[in-house]
């Protein structure tokens, strides 16, 4: 029997369209002998749809038209099985699901929110759990974890908007001490939105105010000089990690912008595969020693955040000093980084298969752990007299 695999994509994120491209690519590469593929599309208003036509990229050219043909559904559990049920007057079970594969990017989905929803329902899924996904989205907390795990990162200063607005001079002083040039970033965004490079103190406040329009948490990092940016994909779980070949990414500006990442910059060097039109060179032009160092740090990073599935760790390298810094993980990367695995001899269908198989194994292992007790502690709880909500409980003691 085939495995009923729901592929979830879209969502209320600036990377909505990128997610559609990633998911359609993946669905077209999945082994249909082994998997019965069920597309699950979340629109920008957070409605869920299913229908085989959602596997065709053409249907996304007109989102309004799509909604006329696809079925609006909700996911739920019944008698130990997972289903998509149609909404509206006559509710019908549209599809049964064994496991789901979220291929989503950005806020409101990739940041652990979707993982949390799936965990609440209880359905097995491929990819990072709530904590790993959430850490991957917060540029401050991830740095605190990296620091604790001796993973190399650039110097930084961070603050909440309210604290900066109360005492800007304090933070400006700390940043000056760190040294210019710096790069100001909203802490939880992505896609280079709200990011500014600042070369002199006089421009700092302006850049911070810009970042504050996007996020309440801000991080200011020291710019890495003599910059070479490389990315490494990692597949695995907490027990085992494999690292891909490295890609070297070239930006058209001082830093990789949204335009570089998704709209292309016209000057392609090397192979450009996957959705991003960024100029990329695979493998990156690094020595074997440095390549190995990056791959080792990538695996360590993956493990430190307890990630799983297919991820991509992005690095900043000071080429002159030969210093490697982790920039950020992409817990569900664009195109699932398949183009970094092909040169290792791993076909995209095999990469997907590996991630799905591991997720099923991990789900089984997780379910062997104790989650809850059969005894109902409330059965010994006598008396709720005078109870007003939970606060006013009187007379009853938890035994």
Ligand X SMILES: Nc1ncnc2c1ncn2[C@@H]1O[C@H](COP(=O)(O)OP(=O)(O)O)[C@@H](O)[C@H]1O
Residue ranges in contact with ligand X by CB under 6 A: 154, 183, 185, 190-192, 195, 221, 223-224, 227, 229, 251, 255-256, 314, 316, 327-328
Q: Smallest distance from the beta carbon of 245 to ligand X, in angstroms? A: 19
How far apart (Å, rounded) are the C-alpha atoms in residues 32 and 228?
Answer: 40
Output 192 or 306, the one with its CB closest to ligand X: 192
Output 191 or 295, the one with its CB closest to ligand X: 191
Helix (H, G, I), strand (E, B) or coil at 28: helix
Question: What is the pairing mode between strands 217-222 and 227-236?
Answer: unpaired
Output 221 or 362, the one with its CB closest to ligand X: 221
How far apart (Å, rounded) are the C-alpha atoms in residues 141 and 52?
Answer: 39
Output 29 or 252, the one with its CB closest to ligand X: 252
Output 30 or 133, the one with its CB closest to ligand X: 133
Which of 195, 169, 42, 198 lies closest to 117, judged by CA? 42
Output 14 or 87, the one with its CB closest to ligand X: 14
For the beta sheet containing 35-42, the strands, ordered from the edge strand earlier in sequence to the opposite edge, are 93-97, 81-86, 71-78, 48-50, 35-42, 3-10, 99-102
Question: What is the pairing mode between strands 323-330 and 309-318?
Answer: antiparallel
Close Cβ partners of 363 (under 8 Å, ≥ 6 residues apart): 99, 124
- Helix, strand, coil distribution of the chain in percent, nearest 5: 35, 25, 40
Structural tokens at position 300: 């360590």
* 152 in Cβ contact with 297 (< 8 Å): yes
């Amino acid at each position: 029997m085939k495995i009923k695999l729901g592929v979830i994509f879209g969502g209320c994120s600036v990377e909505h369209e990128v997610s559609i491209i990633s998911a359609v690519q993946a669905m077209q590469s999945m082994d249909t002998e082994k998997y019965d593929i069920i597309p699950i599309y979340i629109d920008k208003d957070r409605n869920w749809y299913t229908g085989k036509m959602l596997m065709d990229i053409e249907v996304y050219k007109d989102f309004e038209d799509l909604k006329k043909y696809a079925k609006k559904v909700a996911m739920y559990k019944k008698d130990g099985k997972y289903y998509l049920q149609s909404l509206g007057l006559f509710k019908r079970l549209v599809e049964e699901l064994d496991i789901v594969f979220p291929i989503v990017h950005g806020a409101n989905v990739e940041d652990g929110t979707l993982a949390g929803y799936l965990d609440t329902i209880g359905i097995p899924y491929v990819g990072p759990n709530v904590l790993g996904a959430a850490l991957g989205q917060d540029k401050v907390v991830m740095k605190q974890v990296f620091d604790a795990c001796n993973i190399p990162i650039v110097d930084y200063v961070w603050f909440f908007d309210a604290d900066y607005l109360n005492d800007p001079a304090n933070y400006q002083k700390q940043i000056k001490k760190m040294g210019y040039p710096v790069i100001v970033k909203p802490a939880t965004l992505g896609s280079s939105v709200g990011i500014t490079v600042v070369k002199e103190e006089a421009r700092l406040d302006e850049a911070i105010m810009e970042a504050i329009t996007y996020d309440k948490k801000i991080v200011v990092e020291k710019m890495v000089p003599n910059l070479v940016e490389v990315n490494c994909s990692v597949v695995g779980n907490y027990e085992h990690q494999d690292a891909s070949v490295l890609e070297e990414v070239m930006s058209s500006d001082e830093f990789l912008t949204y335009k570089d990442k998704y709209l292309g910059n016209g000057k392609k060097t090397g192979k450009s595969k996957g959705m991003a039109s960024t100029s990329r060179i695979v493998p990156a032009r690094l020595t074997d020693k440095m390549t190995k160092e990056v791959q080792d740090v990538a695996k360590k990073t993956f493990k430190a955040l307890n990630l799983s599935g297919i991820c991509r760790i992005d690095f900043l390298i000071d080429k002159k000093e030969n210093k490697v810094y982790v920039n950020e993980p992409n817990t569900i990367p664009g195109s699932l980084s398949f183009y970094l695995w092909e040169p290792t001899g791993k076909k995209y269908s095999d990469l997907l298969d590996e991630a799905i198989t591991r997720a099923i194994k991990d789900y089984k292992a997780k379910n062997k752990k104790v989650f809850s007790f059969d005894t109902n502690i409330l059965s010994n709880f006598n008396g709720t007299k005078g109870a007003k909500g939970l606060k006013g409980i009187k007379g009853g003691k938890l035994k």
